[in-house]
Amino acid sequence: MMKGVINSGLLLLFGLGSLTSYADPWQFSGHIKYQLSRTDYDNNDLFRKPGDSPAIDHEIDLRLKAEKRWRKWDTQIHYQLLAVAGDTIEARRTLAATLPGFINRPLLPGDDQRWFDLTKVTHDGQSSMAVHRFDRLSIGYSAEQWVFRIGRQTISWGNGLLFQPLDVFNPFSPTAVDKEFKTGDDMLYTQRLFDNGSDLQMVLIPRRDPLTGNIDSKQGSLALKYHGSAKDIEFDILLARHFDQPLLGLGFSGDIAGAVWRFDINVTELNNGDTANIAIFNLERSWTIKNRNTRGFIEFYRNNLGARHKRYNTLDPELVARIQRGEVFTLARDYLVLGMQVEWKPRLNSFTHWIHNLNDDSNLLQIYLNFDWQQNLLLQGGVTLTYGDHGSEYGGIIVGPNSVVGTGDTAFLRLSFYF
């Protein structure tokens, strides 16, 4: 199926791009990224390898892009080759097979539930995996007040900085370092632009039942979002039906004392009649310290589906479903985030994020550097440190006598080459 869909889609997109002499030339570009990471786990962590050696992992991301505009039309074609290999992958697969209740998210993106199957697994071993796929394959039309687009694409909504309650379509993890490209979804998208600066967006994402492989409306998403402003406050109103559950989202942002404040809330009616509430509030401010541009923020995140009192062995099924779908990335209810970015040199920036679990008093500290080595080379490196009592989210969840499952302390180096 993948080969037929790809051939038909490419013929359509390339064909439309050559219909008129008013078209801009095709733009070809891409990148290749490699990441090496080392993770040290506690002695009683089930992720730990036998002996004292740390977990070593590798990631490769190749993206080839072809984009074109002609008159009011545009198209995007992005091919990806992704590969992961290492000790953590092997440990995750072992735990998924042997530890009841272990949440094992996919190692690499797949298309089992997407409208079109544009992904093929080229290698699948115990400690490694590789896929090649199309992450963008869309055609769009943009007029003065209307935008239409169909195919594999992305959309991002919400005001969150690390946590994103309103961005339910493939959001980034709070600890993601590379946020250049979100994973694409097969969707129908339209936008109406109004003269007063407001706009209305509509998204329809068909999905397949994971058991039958057939398109199922209960697995899909239909969303409408209106963005407007009143005096000095911007606001968003989101109405959606997402995985057969009605969703209401509200977002607000404004200025206060030289800072920017933002508030988002996602309210979902669950199938059992209960309500899920996920919200953020943040304050962000920029200033200069010794001629260095500096940005700092504080963010509070709440998810009432999360666990309280370290009860991580009996998670709410609705929370587990959102984690498996890649919409939520944490286990507890309440978190406090402090973040800072400092531009030390025009090509050197540091990022510091501290995530504090307010329910079990565990912590995650992430520090990394971005160095624009050359015009087409980006070097990133840093550490992610976790600490807390045994039984806490970041200190290691107790899963048996003298056994925990934790996140470990990780150091990484990432090199990105653009062409």
Q: Compute how many other C-beta atoms are within 10 angstroms of the C-beta atom of residue 53.
A: 11
Contact 45, 8 (CB under 8 A): no
As a whole number of angstroms, the distance between CA 6 and CA 206 comes to: 18
CB 132 within 8 A of CB 123: no
Contact 390, 396 (CB under 8 A): yes
3-state secondary structure of 78: strand
How far apart (Å, rounded) are the C-alpha atoms in residues 3 and 118? Answer: 8
Measure the CA–CA gap between 301 and 280, rounded to whole angstroms: 4
pLDDT at 17: 52
Sign of CA dihedral 312, 313, 317, 323: positive
16-19 LR contacts (CB < 8 Å, sep 24+): 16/70, 16/73, 16/75, 16/139, 17/68, 17/70, 17/75, 19/70
| Neighbouring C-beta atoms of residue 290, cutoff 10 Å | 5
For residue 90, give the DSSP letter: H
Q: Tokens 């402090």 map to which residue?
A: 338
DSSP of 311-334? -TTS--HHHHHHHHHTS---SBSE
Cα atoms in the Cβ-side hemisphere of radius 13 Å centred on 319: 22
Domains and CATH numbers, the chain: 2-418 (2.40.160.10)
**Tens-of-pLDDT digits for all 419 residues of the chain?**
555 545 555 555 555 555 555 678 999 999 999 999 999 998 888 888 766 679 999 999 999 999 999 999 999 999 999 999 999 989 998 888 888 888 888 889 999 999 999 999 999 999 999 999 999 999 999 999 999 999 999 999 999 999 999 999 999 999 999 999 999 999 999 999 999 999 999 999 999 999 999 999 999 999 999 999 999 999 999 999 999 999 999 999 999 999 999 999 999 999 999 999 999 999 999 999 999 999 999 999 999 999 988 899 899 999 999 999 999 999 999 999 999 999 999 999 999 999 999 999 999 999 999 999 999 999 999 999 999 999 999 999 998 888 899 889 999 999 999 99
| Cβ pair 261, 283 in contact under 8 A | yes
Q: By CB neighbour count within 10 A (0-12 exposed, 13-18 middle, 19+ buried), where does 221 fall?
A: buried
DSSP code per residue over 122-189: EEE-SSEEEEEEEEEEEEEEE-SSEEEEEEEE-------SS--SS--SSPPPTT-S--S-PPPEEEEE
> What was the pLDDT predicted at 298?
99
Residue 22: predicted pLDDT:
65
Does this model's pTM top 0.75? My answer is: yes
Is 26 exposed, middle or buried (CB count within 10 Å of its CB: 0-12, 13-18, 19+)?
A: middle
The CA dihedral of 176, 180, 186, 189, to the nearest 10 degrees, is: 120
